[in-house]
Chain A
Amino acid sequence: MSVNLASARVLRGLPQAAIACVAVVVVASFAPADGYYLNIFMQAATYAIAVTGLVIVLGYCGQISIAQAAFFGIGAYGVAIGTVDFGLGFFPSLVIGAAAAGLLGLILGLGSLRLGGHYLAMVTISFQQILTLVATNWIGFTHGPDGIRDIPRPTLLGFSFRNGHAFLALCLVTLVLVTLCVWRLKTGRLGRAMQAVRDNELAAGTCGIDVFSTKVIAFGLSAVVGGIGGGLFAGGFQYISPDQFSFSESIVLLTMALLGGVQSPFGALVGTGLLVILPEWLRFLRQVYLAVYGAAVILIMVFLPDGLWGLMLERVRRRAKPIEGGVAPLPLLAEHGEKSDEIVLDVQGIAKHFGGLKALDGVDLSVRRGSVHALIGPNGSGKSTFINVITGLYRPTAGRVIFAGRDITNSAPHLRNRAGLARTFQNIRVFRGMTVLENVMVGAERPGNDIAENPAAGVERALAALDFVGLRGDAHRQVGALSYGHQRYVEIARALAASPRMLLLDEPAAGLNLTEKQELGALLRRLKGHGLTILIIDHDMNLVEQVADHITVLNFGRRIADGLPNEVLANPDVIAAYLGEPRNEAA
């Protein structure tokens, strides 16, 4: 199974792409060699490349860029200035232009992507305006508003791309290759990480994904792809001027992506094709076409959120076939199981103050390898704060967190996951735009996992984890279609697939009905049987009693009891904390 999967993945899409290349070359050679229709084709092909870039950043990674025309323009100016003013070849100029676009994209991304999605939108709008200003005013470098004419087309290895057919073929073949790469990106590890970031940044971070870098890479890639499209555009039209790369063109590109469907490069092709050709048919709209585009954006968002391509897919979606055959058992015990006295998680004197409120006030806790450790306490006792400190969402005011011998007190959440700390959330945080299997694969692919570099093994590990929680039959369903209880199992499977040193369960019974709670109890007993180290936070006493080897009780931010379950649960302080102090008159 693994061999087939692996070889299938390497070749994925290549035969189709090869056929598409031949087809587009044939089409290009029959296209009119000059004039109006050639220009339309040229525009469609180069725009489509740029729109495919938007699929990466907006569709996969969920970040809004409104400067795709600016990156397109940088690529175009790279080719124009490189060839006309510096006498460089076409292809070196194209590389310089695309690299410049990518570099500027990285800088913008580094500045804005640490924050929410709308920051990038604002920064890219500003960037777009600045670029137009520079292109218009820096006459010595950009030739100013007159633009640059007589941009040469290349020859490569003795083959000339000087005539229209040949250059169009070059653009189309590039488009096919870019489409192939972007399509394959989606189902690869990086693409999955991007989609995880899009769907839930917090959960992505706790699955070991460096959220910030992933966003920056997505934005940088989209800028490079935009630059490539622009470079080819400059060669295609042999004349460029600043107004071709203005804000309104960025909106046109955005509309193309949204109309076609931003989740897939094929959507980009559909959207671009329609919007390049439609205006030619709808010439009477010439005056109002941008108003129509604006209205179209709103209508698409309301009525066609997945675009035309998404709509088509929905119509023809086949029932995914269930996965046959057995899977290897989940190697839960392989590395970190074996019960011992080794302390996996050592929390020393953790304090977290919010202003005057001491949510945690010097809490110690140590989890031993192979044990199930429960942390309980009434509402407001500091459990959630504790978990947020352990997983890196809060920085503690004082104290240290040692995990597997390393001080992780100040590590980012994704680095803690890489060290082997996997968690689930009280309010379920699955990646809603992805299938069950993809969700779990994100967990399996945590950097540091033994199979992280091997995609086929990742699939197997994810299937094994789904098998363990009993959801293998649902592997290809959209995760949002599952019941609440099953979504929690997907989260648990995602954490298990990461082969964690320790599993942290944050109120796993929250929101479950009685049957689901019983099933969860059974699942936890099985995990315990495998010897996985678990820290469970809950106030469902029934569940805790069933599985815990050791209980720590918090109240008002302090540890009030710590020890074996029967000792702790008989402790008068604990009873008082849960049931209230016995009243004097009753005594």
Chain B
Amino acid sequence: MAIFLQLLFTGLGIGAIYALVALGFVLLIRAASVVNFAQGQFAMVGAYMLVVCFNVLELPYLVSMALSVVLMGLFGVIFAFVTYWPLRHRGGLPVIISTIGASIFLENIVLVLYGPSPAVLPGLFDSPGFQVGPVFMDSQYLSILVSVALLVALQYFIFEKTLLGKKLQATSQDKEMASLLGIPVAGMILFTFAYSAMLGGLAGMLVAPVLFVSVGMGGLIALKAFAANIIGGYGSIPGAILGGLALGVAETLGAGYISVPYKDAFAFAMLLMFLMVRPQGLFGEKISEKA
């Protein structure tokens, strides 16, 4: 039981990271109908920004994080201008392919700039954590969980309670109507790219002390986030969060009780299972094209 609870805690922590990346992913789908295959590389780029700010420029930790998040916003806008803007009228397929190209480019350009050896970042707190009953609360996993909870609350507030959120929702529901109502649709989409890159980057920064910071870290996280989206329900925000958490727990339990080398296969197995049995996911609606 103690082991189970410990695995559950770790699983929720890693699942929160998947949820954060999945959240950025689903926001882009809703705002711009863009399936962004470079979402995981956002996390990787974010983590490297933190490495540069903290390890190289030696800024204080929280300042480094804040600066990196702002830079990620800028990065998201540039990303949108390169991969999305020129192709926005050509349907879904070209944009998907160009984001795949971007993901390859980002991984390898960072590899060239920084080299293959992984970087190490310290955690947010000096203390490794504390014991609660049978479970050791690792301070970094705890910070991840708390940060993600705060972010989700913040996002809920922005989307549901502010005018900006209403405009974003209007844009995602009907671009034509939104623009007729005077909402700057292009601006909303660019904002979503920026926000989505910030979420992804933050996920990378939060997970960096747990994993090593490496070029390949984004790819696997992205795969899990995609799977989380499908498990939770394609295009559903609560689905992305719950799907991410569920996946993190399932994979950690699988690694703990079944097999470590095939840890990454559990996400895939779950993904396939959902596709076969419940393709609309936990929260999804069946979306069918209208004539």
**B264 to chain A: which residues have CB within 8 Å?**
129-130, 133
Q: Dominant SS at the B interface? A: helix
With both chains docked as a complex, state the minimum distance between the C-beta of A384 and any C-beta of chain B, in angstroms: 7
Q: Dominant SS at the A interface? A: helix
Contact of B223 among A116, A117, A125, A388 (CB under 8 A): A125
A129 to B265 Cα, complex, angstroms: 8
Report yes or no: A425 in contact with B93, Cβ–Cβ below 8 A: no
Report yes or no: A287 in contact with B275, Cβ–Cβ below 8 A: no
Report yes or no: B104 in contact with A293, Cβ–Cβ below 8 A: yes
Interface of chain B residues 214 through 246 with chain A (CB within 8 A): 219-220, 223, 226-227, 230, 234
Chain A contact residue count (CB 8 A cutoff): 51
Interface of chain A residues 72 through 127 with chain B (CB within 8 A): 111-112, 114-119, 121-123, 125-127
Nearest B-chain residue to A111, judged by Cβ: B275
> B187 near A: Cβ within 8 Å?
no
- Please indicate which of the listed interface residues B101, B227, B234 has the most CB atoms of chain A within 10 Å of its own CB: B101
**A362 to chain B: which residues have CB within 8 Å?**
none
Contact of A117 among B87, B93, B102 (CB under 8 A): B93
Take A62-B93, A112-B275 as given contacts and tell me if A301 and B101 are in contact as well, using a CB distance cutoff of 8 Å: yes
A127 to B271 Cα, complex, angstroms: 11
A391 to B113 Cα, complex, angstroms: 57
Report yes or no: A129 in contact with B223, Cβ–Cβ below 8 A: yes
Take A111-B272, A290-B108, A291-B108 as given contacts and tell me if A506 and B219 are in contact as well, using a CB distance cutoff of 8 Å: no
Report yes or no: B97 in contact with A130, Cβ–Cβ below 8 A: no
A374 to B108 Cα, complex, angstroms: 62
> A160 near B: Cβ within 8 Å?
no
Contact of B101 among A202, A247, A294 (CB under 8 A): A294
> B289 near A: Cβ within 8 Å?
yes
A427 to B262 Cα, complex, angstroms: 49
Nearest A-chain residue to B29, judged by Cβ: A118
* Binary B-proximity of A237-269 (CB < 8 A = 1, otherwise 0): 000000000011001001100100000000000
Contact of B261 among A133, A302, A387 (CB under 8 A): A133
Chain B contact residue count (CB 8 A cutoff): 47
With both chains docked as a complex, state the minimum distance between the C-beta of A429 and any C-beta of chain B, in angstroms: 8
Report yes or no: B279 in contact with A117, Cβ–Cβ below 8 A: no
A264 to B268 Cα, complex, angstroms: 32
* Binary B-proximity of A200-244 (CB < 8 A = 1, otherwise 0): 011000000000000000000000000000000000000000000
Interface of chain B residues 143 through 169 with chain A (CB within 8 A): none
The 5 A-B pairs of least Cβ separation, nearest first, read A297-B101, A294-B105, A294-B104, A291-B108, A118-B35
B residues with CB within 8 A of A: 35, 37, 82-83, 86-87, 90, 92-94, 96-98, 100-109, 111-112, 219-220, 223, 226-227, 230, 234, 261-262, 264-265, 267-268, 271-272, 275-276, 279, 288-291
Listed by A's residue number, 6 A-B pairs whose Cβ atoms lie within 8 Å are: A118-B96, A123-B275, A126-B267, A258-B97, A293-B101, A294-B108
With A118-B35, A123-B271, A294-B103 given, can you name 13 additional A-B contacts, CB distance below 8 Å?
A: A62-B93, A111-B275, A111-B276, A121-B100, A126-B223, A126-B267, A129-B219, A130-B265, A202-B291, A291-B105, A293-B101, A387-B291, A393-B290
